[in-house]
Every structure is written in structure tokens, then in C-alpha cells.
Structure 1
């Protein structure tokens, strides 16, 4: 069964994402090949398919692109940003660090449900990808701005 064609909105999202890449590639010293590698894709064609509206972007893909390109998902896709915001509204309160917690206490405990040993066993490229996704997710809450700190 052939792939369903992308909607006009998805095509526009892809064009905006490609424009952000083109505007920032020099400053970030990026090529599509390097971006593909950073995001864990086997080759450049996956990135090209997203940029050219050949493949639909999901939330995780959008977060990964935004993290690596230093932008917000809403800079290229309001619809995906709305989905991310909706997911954030329904996040679990279990294990969440209060906003007022001192930074030092955040480093003392492993805050994730997966063990530290499993995380440490990941390849460096996957750790970097995971870090970008977590940073983008946290940035979506604007906690650094609310607390008056500069982003890390």
C-alpha cells in the first residue's frame, strides 16, 4: 500500500524545518549527512525525506530536529508543538522534581525510571540523542526562564 501523501500543513512544516536548517547550518557546522549521524539515522536520505516533505514528522523526530538545530518545535510546526503540549499536560507527577528544588539536589538522585546502569551502557551517540530530547522536553516548560536562570 503506497504511503499516504502529506497534508499541506505537513509540507509547510517540512519547508520551515528545511529553512531553519539552511539558515543555521553554517553556524552549527552542519551538513545533512552530519545531522543524520547526530540524530541516529543511517544516512542523509532520511533527513532529506523530512526536509522535502517525503516523510511525515512525528513528535520524537520533531523534538530531535529542534534540539539539534537550537530552535523550538513551534518554529516549524504549530501542530506538532500542540501535540507535545498536550502530552506534557498529561505527564505523570511521580518522580517529578519540584520547580523550587535546588540544582544540587537534582544531581544527587537519578530521576529516571530506567536504571543508571542501562543508561551508562548506551553508545555515546544514543546518550547525546537522549540528552537532546530531554533538554527539548524540559525547555518546553520554560522552567529556566521562570526561575530566572540562563539555559544550560
Structure 2
């Protein structure tokens, strides 16, 4: 009960302070085939963008407020007949890795992997998804929520 009371007090003070809501979710509208190392994955189909902090043209979230944020990344890949392939993606904050997804050389089944990161951001800090290592041919599945990126403000400072 004490924890619930503390949580309610926190929510009440947040509402009284007029804190903006910051939350986004975007998916790939189409598959991306063989992206190169360093490529920023642009999740171009915005589902939610409260606070307008996610840019679906460049694929970058820019923090509007000081605070603690949660980010999640889910990526899927269809079966791949090539013998050996692997694909690495990083969740990045200002050019520093904060999350990692690895799609291995499975040839018979769909692969679906995800990661979550909880980080403190200052205004203008940026978060995005970037290709790291690619071996062989690979595809990130688009459409129908196969691959998506999202995040939200947990609490402002």
C-alpha cells in the first residue's frame, strides 16, 4: 500500500506540474534488404508520437525533457536460405551503444529479437537504431509490426 501511495503521489505531482507526455512507436513500412554498417534504420510509419520527439524521416528520437526514458526495439527477419549470415543492430544514444540485437544464421524459421534500454536523457540527446555488423545477405522485415522501435518518458527530473 505504501508503494501505491508513493506512486499516486508521484503521478499527482507530475500532473500538477503540467509535464508533457512523451511517447512514440514506429514500424518499418517495408522490408530493408542488406543495409550497410553504420546505416540508421528509419522506422518510417509512426503509430504514436506524443510530444513529437521522434522523427520518422531520419529515424531519430530527440529528448525534449530531462528525465528517465525507456526504449524498446523489436526486429524480425524471414527465413534465409544462405548458409551463413548474421546481422547486428545497436540501439544508440549520442553515438554510444545502449542496446544490442543479433540475428543469427537460422535458415528455416523467422527470427524475432528484441532489446530494452532504460536511460537518462537531457534535452537534445538523441536515440536511434544503427546497423553494426552484417555478414552475408540479410533482411529486416517491414510491415505488419514485424519490426518496430518505441520509447517513452518514465519520469521527468
TM-score, normalised to structure 1, is 0.26
- Larger RCO of the pair (alpha carbons < 8 Å, separation 6+): 2
* Greater strand share, structure number: 2
TM-score, normalised to structure 2, is 0.25
